[in-house]
Chain A
Amino acid sequence: MSKESLSKFGVRPLAMKCQFCSNPATMHLTTIINRKKRETHVCDACAEERNILPGKSSEMPINALLQFVLGSNPGIEKESDETACPECGLKYAQFRSEGRLGCPHDYEVFKERLEPLLLKIHRSQNHVGKVPASLHSARQAQEMQNFRNQLLEAVTRENYEEAARLRDLIRSKEQLDETR
């Protein structure tokens, strides 16, 4: 995320005047069209009167940020923009213009295009953190099964040292689960 895009969240000097009347400006809008940045400073009354508020949406700056990132995404090919998610029918082009995905499957369908985007927004492409408990236990069960398979294989290969290591590992993990 660039400093420039973040500065949109920053707070501007309080003394800024409304562009339409002389009241103090209370809204500071940044619009980016064709990569050209334009700033508008207005007071509540003029914003409402002239309908310049973007739907009074609480998500405005995040949208602006997303548009900024989407707009500067290089190597956009028209063709892949038209690929639609088989579940919800969303096309990447629609996501580009609306800034919202349509369903959980979109993350898989548009994975290759989302990864660089996520890297820009979060400086990461991988979740680190909470995992639903159901998945957590499924993952653990899978891991244990893998250890058991490896143990069997080690015994078959008569690699008893490795087998003993795996046996102890499985035991300690089982004990840990029991104490939980």
Chain B
Amino acid sequence: MKLDSMLPQLGEWLRGTGPESDIVISTRIRLARNLADMPFTNRAAGIQKAEVESKLRETIAKLNWHSPLHYIGMQDLNALNRQFLVERQLISREMANVLEGPRGVAFDDTESVSLMVNEEDQLRMQVMRSGFALDQAWETIDRIDDMIEQKVQYAFHDQFGYLTACPTNVGTGMRASVMLHLPGLGLTKQIEKAFKAMQKINLVVRGLYGEGSRASGDFFQISNQMTLGKSEPEALNDIRSLIHDTLKYERFARSTLLRENKQALQDRVARALGTLQSATMMTSEETMELLSAVRLGVHMHLIEDLTAPLINELFLQTQPAHLQKIIGEALDGEARNAARARYLRQRLREISPQAN
């Protein structure tokens, strides 16, 4: 499979549709699994890693899934292409940067299913959905897990459940994350309060690109922390009820802003769009902040020509690896900032010519 052919398309999770999609960007559930009687990836010898890889690759290839799953070995990808897959959330940063030895990823055409082999755990399955769709994501991943489990024997312990390399994942091995866009709470300075509430019930708040990444542009990922002592549906319910509350607060903040500060809000949105349309240097950080403001403007009907999927597209295409692939050459930081600004100017001119 040629990765370049994926460049113009958006994964299912970035379609900008689905329940509550004015606030919830996407839902993701992953399961961590290991094979019985095999050392975990970090301690496996090369030959054992190769054995695990070939076994899981074969199992995945024979999986009777309704759409084909493409398997790519990491050794066949250069750093840029690995980063490209990170930006599309198909592999983790750890997969792209850290681990040695035979490893790979399988994903479908819609990019809603991805199966990583020989990551920190031998199998990390992930299902992504656009909008707030915990149940659908769980049903899908549960089914894939069942299908794979018919072919291989997972490491499972009566007391501890599914065994994982890191004890923070043991039990269900399930991490469910919902990615939220919360500019209203950001602007009304209530975001810290919301985070405190989340942390109190042991949910974790992270930036867009998972653990270790900073939240920028008011995009946040909320995930369950505990994987032992709660069933999968119970853990999903915890997240669900908290997200419902968060949605309520965010909507309230947005309507308050519209009622009490409409002009200031309009100005903020228009300035963000103006900067994106005319700047000559643009970091990915700033792009994210500005696109965040524009996205808010789209959902609050303060901007007419732009749509949520388009914002998502710009957001994805301006990431470093995507940008370099679009331009067709490797660029250093400064050159990237110039190319990013040029790309944004051009795309926004195509879409909204009268705005210029």
**A104-B34, A126-B228 are known contacts. Are A11 and B215 too (CB-CB below 8 A)?**
yes
Expressed in whole angstroms, the Cα–Cα distance for A35 and B259 within the complex equals 49
Expressed in whole angstroms, the Cα–Cα distance for A102 and B166 within the complex equals 9
B155 & A104 in contact (Cβ 8 Å cutoff): yes
Tell me whether B84 is interfacial, beta carbon within 8 Å.
no
Q: List 17 A-B contacts (CB under 8 A).
A: A9-B205, A26-B214, A26-B216, A54-B212, A55-B98, A56-B97, A62-B211, A98-B42, A100-B42, A101-B167, A103-B43, A121-B226, A127-B162, A127-B229, A128-B230, A128-B234, A130-B161
- Within 8 Å by CB of B93, from A57, A87, A117, A127, lies A57
**A11-B191, A11-B195, A101-B167 are known contacts. Are A107 and B157 too (CB-CB below 8 A)?**
yes
Tell me whether B54 is interfacial, beta carbon within 8 Å.
no
Tell me whether A169 is interfacial, beta carbon within 8 Å.
no
Which residues of chain A have C-beta atoms less than 8 A from B333's C-beta? 45
B40 & A103 in contact (Cβ 8 Å cutoff): yes
Interface residues of A in 38-76 (CB under 8 A from B): 44-45, 54-62, 65-66
Interface residues of A in 107-160 (CB under 8 A from B): 107-108, 114, 117-118, 121-135
Tell me whether A32 is interfacial, beta carbon within 8 Å.
no
**A57-B98, A101-B167 are known contacts. Are A88 and B43 too (CB-CB below 8 A)?**
yes
B149 & A122 in contact (Cβ 8 Å cutoff): no
Expressed in whole angstroms, the Cα–Cα distance for A107 and B166 within the complex equals 11
Least Cβ distance of B217 to chain A in Å? 10
A27 & B40 in contact (Cβ 8 Å cutoff): no
Which residues of chain A have C-beta atoms less than 8 A from B160's C-beta? 107, 114, 118, 125-127
A66 & B214 in contact (Cβ 8 Å cutoff): no
**A58-B211, A130-B231 are known contacts. Are A102 and B40 too (CB-CB below 8 A)?**
yes
Nearest neighbor of A53 in chain B, beta-carbon distance: B212
Which residues of chain A have C-beta atoms less than 8 A from B270's C-beta? none
**A6-B199, A57-B93, A103-B40 are known contacts. Are A122 and B226 too (CB-CB below 8 A)?**
yes
Expressed in whole angstroms, the Cα–Cα distance for A16 and B93 within the complex equals 25
B212 & A59 in contact (Cβ 8 Å cutoff): yes
Stretch at the interface among B15-23, B168-176, B250-258: B168-176
Nearest neighbor of B159 in chain A, beta-carbon distance: A126
Per-position 1/0 for B12-44, Cβ under 8 A of A:
000000000000000000000010111110110
Expressed in whole angstroms, the Cα–Cα distance for A104 and B199 within the complex equals 31
B93 & A58 in contact (Cβ 8 Å cutoff): yes
Tell me whether B232 is interfacial, beta carbon within 8 Å.
yes
Expressed in whole angstroms, the Cα–Cα distance for A59 and B206 within the complex equals 12
Interface residue count on the B side (C-beta < 8 Å) = 68
- Within 8 Å by CB of B195, from A10, A57, A133, lies A10
A130 & B215 in contact (Cβ 8 Å cutoff): no
Tell me whether B227 is interfacial, beta carbon within 8 Å.
yes
Least Cβ distance of B145 to chain A in Å? 8
User: B-contacting residues of A (Cβ < 8 Å)?
Assistant: 1, 3, 6-7, 9-11, 14, 24, 26-28, 44-45, 54-62, 65-66, 87-88, 90, 98-104, 107-108, 114, 117-118, 121-135
B36 & A129 in contact (Cβ 8 Å cutoff): no
B157 & A100 in contact (Cβ 8 Å cutoff): no
A126 & B229 in contact (Cβ 8 Å cutoff): yes
Nearest neighbor of A94 in chain B, beta-carbon distance: B43
Which residues of chain A have C-beta atoms less than 8 A from B206's C-beta? 9, 61
B163 & A130 in contact (Cβ 8 Å cutoff): no
A133 & B211 in contact (Cβ 8 Å cutoff): no
Which residues of chain B have C-beta atoms less than 8 A from A107's C-beta? 157, 160, 163, 170
A104 & B36 in contact (Cβ 8 Å cutoff): yes
B214 & A9 in contact (Cβ 8 Å cutoff): no
Which residues of chain B have C-beta atoms less than 8 A from A100's C-beta? 40, 42-43, 120, 165-166
Which residues of chain B have C-beta atoms less than 8 A from A132's C-beta? 149, 153-154, 156
Which residues of chain B have C-beta atoms less than 8 A from A11's C-beta? 191-192, 195, 205, 207, 214-215, 220
Expressed in whole angstroms, the Cα–Cα distance for A134 and B190 within the complex equals 48
Which residues of chain A have C-beta atoms less than 8 A from B39's C-beta? 87-88, 102-103
Per-position 1/0 for B168-206, Cβ under 8 A of A:
101110100000000000000001100110010010111
- Within 8 Å by CB of B168, from A7, A45, A60, A66, lies A66
Expressed in whole angstroms, the Cα–Cα distance for A117 and B168 within the complex equals 10
**A104-B163, A122-B171 are known contacts. Are A58 and B157 too (CB-CB below 8 A)?**
no
- Within 8 Å by CB of A122, from B145, B192, B229, lies B229
Nearest neighbor of A45 in chain B, beta-carbon distance: B333
Which residues of chain A have C-beta atoms less than 8 A from B120's C-beta? 59, 100
Expressed in whole angstroms, the Cα–Cα distance for A59 and B99 within the complex equals 12
Nearest neighbor of B33 in chain A, beta-carbon distance: A132
B37 & A55 in contact (Cβ 8 Å cutoff): no
Tell me whether B350 is interfacial, beta carbon within 8 Å.
no
B226 & A124 in contact (Cβ 8 Å cutoff): yes
Which residues of chain A have C-beta atoms less than 8 A from B225's C-beta? 1, 6
Which residues of chain B have C-beta atoms less than 8 A from A24's C-beta? 285
